[in-house]
Amino acid sequence: MTGTAQRDEDCQAHRVDADGEGVNGPRAHGAANIAGGEAIPEHQSRVRRSYDAVTDAYTERVHDELRHKRLDRALLTAFAEQLRDQFGPQASVCDAGCGPGHVAAFLADLGVAVTGIDLSPAMVDRARALHPELTFEVGTMTALEAAAGRWKGLIAFYSIIHLTSDAEIRAALREFHRTVVDRGLLLVAVHLGEFGEATVHADEMLGVGVDMDFRFFDAEWLVGEVTAAGFEVEARLVRAPYLDVEVQTTRAYLMARRVGGMET
Ligand SMILES: C[S@@+](CC[C@H](N)C(=O)[O-])C[C@H]1O[C@@H](n2cnc3c(N)ncnc32)[C@H](O)[C@@H]1O
């Protein structure tokens, strides 16, 4: 990776699409379509192509990773137990940016009904092949197709990291708020920046050529955005990376409850 810090203020080019709509609207347009004919911004097309290309290597790297990630398993278990206690067995959960579906499968084994959504058709194909009992769909978290209040819970594990403008992060949080039922739960995982926020460009991932950006977050900033979006943060965890298991970045996890807030 090579990179320079790049604040949202530097991303004006992405703010307004060809139809004059802001990227934070559910109909933000750009260069390409996803399932259902929805258009996505150009940089999301690059993310999609990148994950299509890296699907094999990424799946090889992560499909078994939760075995080594005790804190992640503990948080996912608490998330599923809370939803089951609150909403009953098979409470509906969206895994936004599900990749090859290993986190969705872990949650499903805990008795919740998971639908995985991912920008990358290759990832969705792989998730369906590996977990044929689960549902996976192509889509973007900045314009979810689900109806309002569709999910009892929503997780986004290392997927909002590719929404590199503040406006896009807010668009995704607005969609999470719209599609999660009142008092439902949100669980988000991100990488933290060593010196606050930064966006880093990658042209290679796991030995495969890619062309996409990664965002490294400031935890307090994200807490503020999640809160402003209409969630109450109930738990936060910052942990060091597990050696030999994952990229060596500090990780942050937020568990938050939908409490109303912004208009949807
Ligand atoms: C770093 S991977 C994380 C995958 C999985 N959640 C995990 O924990 O391993 C990021 C995933 O998010 C997906 N993604 C990126 N931007 C997205 C968007 N706007 N909407 C839906 N999925 C997206 C990518 O295609 C990729 O599969």
Give the DSSP H/E element, type plus range, for residue 61.
helix 42-62
Hey, what domains does the chain have and what are their CATH numbers?
Answer: 28-258 (3.40.50.150)
Question: Looking at residue 39, what is its pLDDT?
Answer: 79
Q: Which amino acid is located at 186 in the chain?
A: L
Question: Looking at residue 32, what is its pLDDT?
Answer: 61
The pairing of beta strand 180-191 with beta strand 151-157 = parallel
Give 3-61 pLDDT, tens digit per residue.
333 333 222 222 222 222 223 333 333 346 665 556 788 899 999 999 999 999 999 99
Under 8 Å between Cβ of 49 and 211: yes
Structure-block tokens of residue 242: 């597990």
Which of 118, 141, 190 for a ligand 1 pocket mutation test, highest count of atoms within 8 Å of Cβ?
118
CA of 195 to the centre of ligand 1 (A): 24
* Residue 190 pLDDT greater than 80, yes or no: yes
Question: Looking at residue 33, what is its pLDDT?
Answer: 62
Confidence tier at 140 by pLDDT (50, 70, 90): very high
What is the torsional sign of CA 42, 43, 44, 48?
A: positive
| Average pLDDT for the chain | 86
Which of 159, 190, 246 for a ligand 1 pocket mutation test, highest count of atoms within 8 Å of Cβ?
159
Question: Looking at residue 19, what is its pLDDT?
Answer: 23
Question: Looking at residue 31, what is its pLDDT?
Answer: 40
Give 230-263 pLDDT, tens digit per residue.
999 999 999 999 988 898 999 999 999 999 744 4
Question: Looking at residue 174, what is its pLDDT?
Answer: 98
Structure-block tokens of residue 158: 């290392």
Task: Write the residue with the smallest CA distance to atom 20 of ligand 1.
Answer: 140
45 lines ligand 1 (CB under 6 A): no
101 lines ligand 1 (CB under 6 A): no
Which of 73, 79, 102, 119 for a ligand 1 pocket mutation test, highest count of atoms within 8 Å of Cβ?
119
Give 46-99 pLDDT, tens digit per residue.
999 999 999 999 999 999 999 999 999 999 999 999 999 999 999 999 999 999
Atom of ligand 1 nearest to the CA of 155: 6
165 lines ligand 1 (CB under 6 A): no
142 lines ligand 1 (CB under 6 A): yes
pTM: 0.87
Question: Looking at residue 244, what is its pLDDT?
Answer: 85
Give 145-183 pLDDT, tens digit per residue.
999 999 999 999 999 999 989 999 999 999 999 999 999
97 lines ligand 1 (CB under 6 A): yes
Question: Looking at residue 14, what is its pLDDT?
Answer: 24
51 lines ligand 1 (CB under 6 A): yes
Question: Looking at residue 21, what is its pLDDT?
Answer: 25
What integer is the mean pLDDT of 196-223?
A: 93
Confidence tier at 201 by pLDDT (50, 70, 90): very high
With 0-12 / 13-18 / 19 or more C-beta atoms within 10 angstroms meaning exposed / middle / buried, residue 117 is: buried
Under 8 Å between Cβ of 104 and 98: yes
Q: Number of C-alpha atoms within 13 angstroms, CB side, residue 204? A: 4
Question: Looking at residue 40, what is its pLDDT?
Answer: 86
- The residue ranking higher by pLDDT, 116 or 20, is 116
Q: How far is CA 237 from CA 222, 223, 234, 250, 253, in A?
A: 13, 12, 10, 10, 5
